[in-house]
Amino acid sequence: MEPLILGIDLCDTYSQISVFSPESGTAEPILLGEGENSSLISTVLCKMKGSDTWLIGYEAYRRALMGEGTMVDKLVKLLYKNGNATIEGVQYSAEELMGHYIEQLLKLPREKYGVEEVRCLAITLRQLSPDLLDRLTRACDRCGLSRSKLRFLSHTESFAFFVASRPKEIWPNMVVGFDLGEEGLDYYEMRIVRGRRPQVLEARRESLEEAFDLDIFDTAVGARMADTILSSCADRLLTKKLISSVFLTGEGFNHVANWAPEFLRRLCNKRKVFEGQHLFADGAAILAYDSTRAETIFPYVCICEGRLSSSISLYAVREGKNEQLVLAAAGSNWYEARSTAEFILDDVANLELMITPFATQRVETIGISLSELPARPNKATRIQLILSFSSENHVTARVVDKGFGELYPASGKVIRKDFLIS
């Protein structure tokens, strides 16, 4: 069998893992015994006493309750905080613990399919941050997964690619989704903006204030209250929108037909409604597969959380011609969009970066003064321009003085400019 193509939805309460099959063209969730047909795997880790054996999920809970090991939970939050946990007198970093969790998670598809090698692993999280992704990269490295085999994406992006992979009759118009879990209640929208070349895939997420604890379902009164809350959300969010389909995901929507008749009545008004627990993991696996192809199966510029909505460029002379050099393109994953370019200054006192939102004629200019560089004759200064991102909106530009050979050695001067893009 070919190397595994995997998607992981990594959350503090439950995580899920899906495998993409190029033969069938679909993603398949890995089921675990916390429910005979459940893809939800508790994001907990248990170290067995006196050994280097680690367990995850329900078995981790069970063995910890029996006093056979020490359990750690909230692993994603621990990674966000760069925290640690002490087990049997040994302090483990959040990266080490997450590495153990992912290693055990990867055992599930490896054992099921009898394949050790991973070709690509895409991990989707509710929200992304540079520090979190750096730590997650190092945690995966502990499992033997190099950075070249990893992809990271937000839940918003995962939702968009999951929907775009469905038959087109499901999404001729806008598609929305609700995700209800212990971490909150999120609303998603996805639509294809036609009439542009290439077409634009737009998606967004809204964290709803109406979120509630899932123990509300413990009583009949609480369940009716949940139905009322969600019905109100549907009235507010879906009215006057041309919506083709609605997707419900998250453990809160288990058996939704049993407790939310009014909410479902509002959703099913001339729309298709789907419920499933592994949407984000499947979306991640689909993106993992797409990243292994020479040509994408999604001919869209994707504008959403985790992707740049604007291009960044500047004009430079190359081989005697004034050319526009694109440093970061709209639709790129911000975590992978870091770019580096070198220039020789020819009577230039400022760098002018052009910010161009996709499919618009509006251009904003960001100037970077070079007055702090050492004074040298014209064409005797070489600079390196480095662009990096801390989100899809936050950009850091660094100009590094590289000097000019032995006559004008590099000063080491760095000019930094932080700015926002739309």
| Predicted local confidence at residue 203, as pLDDT | 96
Residues in CB range of 416: below 8 A, 6 or more apart:
396, 397, 398, 399
Domain boundary among 151, 166, 201: 151
Task: Kindly state whether residues 250 and 351 are assigned to the same domain.
Answer: no
Tell whether 191 is covered by a domain.
yes
Task: Kindly state whether residues 171 and 247 are assigned to the same domain.
Answer: yes
Tell whether 339 is covered by a domain.
yes
Tell whether 118 is covered by a domain.
yes
| Predicted local confidence at residue 33, as pLDDT | 55
Tell whether 288 is covered by a domain.
no
Domain boundary among 151, 182, 203: 151
| Predicted local confidence at residue 198, as pLDDT | 83
Task: Kindly state whether residues 147 and 162 are assigned to the same domain.
Answer: no
| Predicted local confidence at residue 37, as pLDDT | 56
- Domain assignment of residue 395, given as a range: 310-420
Task: Kindly state whether residues 374 and 268 are assigned to the same domain.
Answer: no
Task: Count structural domains, the chain.
Answer: 3
Tell whether 11 is covered by a domain.
yes
Tell whether 113 is covered by a domain.
yes
Q: Which secondary-structure segment (H or E) carries 100?
A: helix 94-113
Task: Kindly state whether residues 261 and 316 are assigned to the same domain.
Answer: no
Domain boundary among 114, 136, 151: 151
Task: Kindly state whether residues 122 and 188 are assigned to the same domain.
Answer: no
CB neighbourhood size of 255 (10 A): 9
Task: Kindly state whether residues 180 and 137 are assigned to the same domain.
Answer: no
Task: Kindly state whether residues 30 and 137 are assigned to the same domain.
Answer: yes
| Predicted local confidence at residue 179, as pLDDT | 97
CB neighbourhood size of 41 (10 A): 26
The CATH number of whichever domain residue 53 belongs to comes to 3.30.420.40
Give the Cα separation of 79 and 338 in Å (integer).
Answer: 23
Task: Kindly state whether residues 65 and 91 are assigned to the same domain.
Answer: yes
Give the Cα separation of 214 and 108 in Å (integer).
Answer: 28
| Predicted local confidence at residue 358, as pLDDT | 85
Task: Kindly state whether residues 268 and 321 are assigned to the same domain.
Answer: no
The CATH number of whichever domain residue 332 belongs to comes to 2.60.34
Residues of the chain with pLDDT below 50 are: 34-36
Task: Kindly state whether residues 170 and 84 are assigned to the same domain.
Answer: no
Give the Cα separation of 274 and 268 in Å (integer).
Answer: 10
Tell whether 146 is covered by a domain.
yes
Give the Cα separation of 256 and 267 in Å (integer).
Answer: 12
The CATH number of whichever domain residue 168 belongs to comes to 3.30.420
Give the Cα separation of 203 and 198 in Å (integer).
Answer: 16
Give the Cα separation of 146 and 259 in Å (integer).
Answer: 45
Task: Kindly state whether residues 102 and 175 are assigned to the same domain.
Answer: no
Of 283, 284, 274, 225, the C-alpha closest to 253 is: 274
Tell whether 331 is covered by a domain.
yes
